[in-house]
Amino acid sequence: MASHRKSRTPGPRVAGIRTPALATAALTSVALLSQTADASPGEDRPSLEEVEKKVGDLYRQAESATEKYNAAKEKTTKQRKRVDTLLDDVAKRTQKLNEARSELGSYAAAQYRTGAGMPDTATFLLAETPQDIFDQRQVLDRMTGRQKAAVDDYVTQQTETMKKRQEATESLRTLTETQGDLKTAKATVQKKLADARELLSKLTAEEKARLAAIEKRKQEEAARKAAELARQQAEQEQAREEAAQQGGGTSEGSGSTGSTETPPADSSYGTKAEKALAFARAQIGKPYVWGATGPGSYDCSGLTQAAWKAAGVSLPRTTYDQVNAGTTVPVSQARPGDLVFFYDDVTHVGIYIGNGMMIHAPKPGTYVREESIYYDGDSAIHSIVRPA
């Protein structure tokens, strides 16, 4: 069966935001499996490899929807704060407008008591917009200095109040839209996870055991690749040390198979990375919960954000933004603390700890753990980003 991911030429990837596309093929596959799971023993059933692929696809689609949910939640929170601020401002300006209107009213009443004709200031109380007021230029000419000052204050308060009311209306409209995006993303996550659970529930005990064996073989291969990366990195470090002893410099790119533009070693980065890793290690064993940012549970980007926050570095909330929050480096030159991003739609992230290993929050039903960065194969790795 064909791979679920496009093949890629070897070498470092350039980090960037791609628009995640939730494939519909997996839903069709679920329907197909639902039909075949209850079939008689003589009928064809999907292979375990096909089941594993379909479940993996659904989990990745759920993770993609989770990052959309995280983005929509963050946007909704910011928009709600903006709306609250604007509404408070409108209330304050409305009060000032009423005070200015009251002052104009006192002038109008005084003119009326003295037997004047149409009170000059009353004309402005009948005006609905600032333009209506400016159209009464002949009235302005007959006013005293204090009356004109009162009119100026009234016009200013009315103009600003109308402006803020319009801003508040537009912000409320935007808030409604982001709340809709949030609801849609949440429903998508829940649907994908439900489909994956249903698919797994149709397996027999024997099939589940065989599926676990397949997963074990994948983990063993991932561990082998991690050990190979660790060996390569150790050789590079030794070459750098030898070059330094011989006065040949300490180029970070020495002996690498990737870019030679990797930032030079920075002692401050190492200090921050140690703090980030210490935090991440303390979270091992806590459950993955989509949309969670701690302290009791995390999703993948929630964990990396919290870890680097503990080191005094502010990362964006989502994988789509975190991937651009630093400098891209080759896999061969990954250092502890670097962020490891996965998949072409950049929907998963872990924090590198060295020797080809990382700490990450994998997926629903699992816990924060240490794992090879090759846990889903070489082609799953999107990029390595140094955040500070």
Q: Could you give the CA distance from residue 334 to residue 131 in angstroms, rounded to a whole number?
A: 64
Q: Could you give the CA distance from residue 60 to residue 261 in angstroms, rounded to a whole number?
A: 32
**Is 348 among the catalytic positions?**
yes
How far does CA 343 lie from the centroid of its chain? 16
Q: Could you give the CA distance from residue 90 to residue 365 in angstroms, rounded to a whole number?
A: 47
Q: Could you give the CA distance from residue 363 to residue 351 in angstroms, rounded to a whole number?
A: 15
Whether 223 contacts 372, CB under 8 Å: yes
Among candidate residues 360, 363, 382, 386, the one labeled active-site is 360
How far does CA 276 lie from the centroid of its chain? 19
- Which residues neighbour 79 within 8 Å (Cβ) at sequence distance 6 or greater? 171, 174, 175, 178
Checking DSSP bridges between strand 369-372 and strand 339-342, what pairing results, if any?
Answer: unpaired
Among candidate residues 30, 150, 199, 300, the one labeled active-site is 300
Cβ count near 143 (within 10 Å): 17
Whether 311 contacts 301, CB under 8 Å: no
**Is 360 among the catalytic positions?**
yes
Cβ count near 327 (within 10 Å): 14
Give the residue ranges of DSSP H helices in the chain.
Answer: 25-37, 48-113, 120-126, 130-134, 137-141, 145-201, 205-245, 267-282, 300-310, 319-322
Task: Write out the two tokens for 200.
Answer: 């797994």
Checking DSSP bridges between strand 357-360 and strand 348-354, what pairing results, if any?
Answer: antiparallel
Among candidate residues 53, 54, 164, 348, the one labeled active-site is 348
Map tokens 């200031």 to a residue.
121
Active site residues: 300, 348, 360
